[in-house]
Amino acid sequence: MTPSTADTTHTPQTGANDPDTADRNTTENDVQATANAAASGAPGTADVIIIGSGPGGYATALRAAELGRSVVLVERGDALGGTCLNRGCIPTKALITTARAVDAVRQAPNVGIDATITGIDFGTMVTYKNRIVRTMTEGLRGLLAHRGVVVLQGEATVTDPARRMVTIQANGGRDQVLCFRKAGVSESCGTTVNVQADDIVLATGSRPTPLPCHDFAGALIDSTQALSLVHVPATATIIGSGSIAVEFATIWSAGGCEVTMLIRHGRALSHWDRRSGTTLTRELKRRGIHIIPDTQITGVDVGVNLGATVHYTDAAGQERTIFSELALTAIGRVPNTDDAWCRALGVDMDDDGHIVTDAYGRTKASGIWAVGDITRGPGLASRAFAQGITIAERMAGHDCTPVDDDAVAQVVFSSPEAATVGCTMEQARDREDLDHVRESMYPMLSNARMLMSGSAGSMSIVSGERREQPGVEVVLGVHIVAPNASDMIGEAEQIIANRIPLDRASSLTHPHPTFSEAFGEALLLADGRPLHTR
């Protein structure tokens, strides 16, 4: 397996042999065989070709290669890892590390440390973020090479869906498609490369949604531009109240920026459970973030070096404006499925442009699969990883468990964190397959570690019975706001996804004294056996 070069000025060399496993040897032999074919001008072949190297694409590639399939992964960007590693999860969390440190210093006097913040060096924050990103993307390149995945750098299009032919063209100012078989070693392999595969996996990801009234321009920026800033803005307006809005409010506010959030509803995370949204909104305000609820954006004025003036109507219907150095639009993302070649694949798409698949990632078109943000469901790296594994195993003929979107946990890495999995009380009440739905609220400050943290929080558990299993109460949803919510939600996800009965889940111990103990106590409370609560 290797790509063929349409202009055969260069014969690709084979990668170094890695004798770790027999499967790897098979793959390397395929590489050699098709490299010879490529030299004679025949089309390159692979068992699987994947378009896009984000979490969905690279997880599929890693698992497919592990299962002994020959894999080509195509990425048009310079770095591997897609949005998550380069413009999403990793850089934001690297910057949030600073926000955590700021919180710790603010809390320091309460625990006997005389500490104040005399300045925040955003340049150092950016260097730190870039170093983390580089380490992760280079690590991914090394891992892919180790598994025998051939990486091509160029713009991919599916040119013949029926034959599963993908054409890769040099892009980004380069006149050659680059081929990586070893980490860090590239070979030029022509301006255009064709690869024919048994299976094509689409993993082209998503991009920020612009405001209906104004595209991104000047000081009206998206999250990618926000991550490229080399200074903290003095003032910023953030439009939206989802994960991106709340995380940038946390980062910039910690860096000394005066942040105003213009939100459509009465609370941040309005599509989450009410208690979490209300608690988090209060905590963000307590940290100095200005939140204006029930607004509707009517226009934005921007100009080079002139900042951004956002026009909106407030809760009373009054026309208002707010001026700031920057305005960040964070109102969701659109799937990258609008290219003509993608529309011509013969796959079904929903009204938002998401590709429709079955539970295993298979589209309507034979041999074409889709993974990650281009499919309908939570736009999360964690989900894309799990989908990628499922697709690779299904393509290899394995019997595997599909991803259950209803049991995918979401975390917002604010201060404090917010985390959710499963359904809210309102959603559970509306479902016809559930009976005896109820909600119990655990008072977070009765947990010792919560008390020590100096932060407020909330935790609620939604439970009920599934009609198919009457008499067995199970956990249906868990919603947490707490400094370590991201660590606690994993346990809740296991309990919900594996449908562990509430009486069994609540009988497990939790190390003492920990934040996770709060979840154990909340389960006991939900099961009608409260210990340290009334």
Ligand X SMILES: NC(=O)c1ccc[n+]([C@@H]2O[C@H](COP(=O)([O-])OP(=O)(O)OC[C@H]3O[C@@H](n4cnc5c(N)ncnc54)[C@H](O)[C@@H]3O)[C@@H](O)[C@H]2O)c1
196 binds, among ligand FAD, ligand X, none (CB under 5 to 8 A by kind): none
512 is known as an active-site residue = yes
Binding mask 97-116 for ligand FAD (x = CB under 6 A): --------------------
Q: Give the residue ranges of DSSP H helices in 186-332.
A: 223-228, 243-254, 274-286
Q: How far is the CB of 28 from ligand FAD (least distance, A)?
A: 25
- What b/e sequence results for 229-250 when a residue is b if at least 16 CB atoms lie within 10 Å of its CB, and e otherwise? eeebbebbbbbbbbbbbbbbbb
The answer to the question of whether 353 is labelled as a binding residue is no
Count of residues engaged in binding ligand FAD, rule: CB under 6 A: 34
The set of residues, in sequence order, having a beta carbon less than 8 Å from that of 279 and lying 6+ positions away, is 456, 457, 458, 481
The reply to whether 240 sits near ligand X by the rule CB under 6 A is yes
Specify the 3-state DSSP secondary structure of 5: strand
- The site partner of 203 among ligand FAD, ligand X, none (C-beta below 5 to 8 Å per kind) is ligand FAD
Q: Which is nearer to ligand FAD, 204 or 463 (CB)?
A: 204
Residue among 171, 270, 298, 427 that touches ligand X (CB under 6 A): 270
**228 annotated as a binding-site residue:** no
For ligand FAD, which residue of 84, 126, 149, 368 counts as binding (CB under 6 A)?
A: 84
Residue 410, helix vs strand vs coil: strand
**96 near ligand X (CB under 6 A):** no
CB–CB of 496/463 below 8 Å?
Answer: no
**204 in a labelled binding site:** yes
- Count residues binding ligand X (CB under 6 A): 24
Task: Work out how close the CB of 431 gets to ligand X at its nearest, in angstroms, rounded to a whole number.
Answer: 22
Residue 63 interface partner, choices ligand FAD, ligand X, none, CB cut-off 5-8 Å depending on type? none
Q: Is 269 in the site for ligand FAD (CB under 6 A)?
A: no
DSSP output for 338-378: -SHHHHTS---B-TTSPBP--TTSB-SSTTEEE-GGGBSS-
Q: Does 54 engage in binding with ligand FAD (CB under 6 A)? A: yes
- Please report where in the chains the tokens 């998503």 appear, as a residue: 206
Across 52-149, the runs of DSSP E, i.e. the strands, are 71-75
Consult the annotation and say whether 241 binds a ligand. Answer: yes
Question: Bridge-partner residues for 460, per DSSP?
Answer: 441, 479
Question: Contacts with ligand X in 410-469 (CB under 6 A)?
Answer: 410-413
Q: Minimum CB separation from ligand X for residue 332, in Å?
A: 4
CA distance 412 to 390: 26
Of 10, 29, 76, 183, which lies in the binding site for ligand FAD, with binding defined by CB under 6 A? 76
Rg (CA), the chain: 25
The pair of three-digit structure tokens given for residue 524, joined into one six-digit string: 């006991």
Annotated binding site for NAD(+): 240-247, 332
Which residues of this chain interact with ligand X, rule CB under 6 A? 211-212, 239-245, 247, 264, 270, 297, 330-333, 378-380, 410-413
> Annotated active-site positions, please?
512
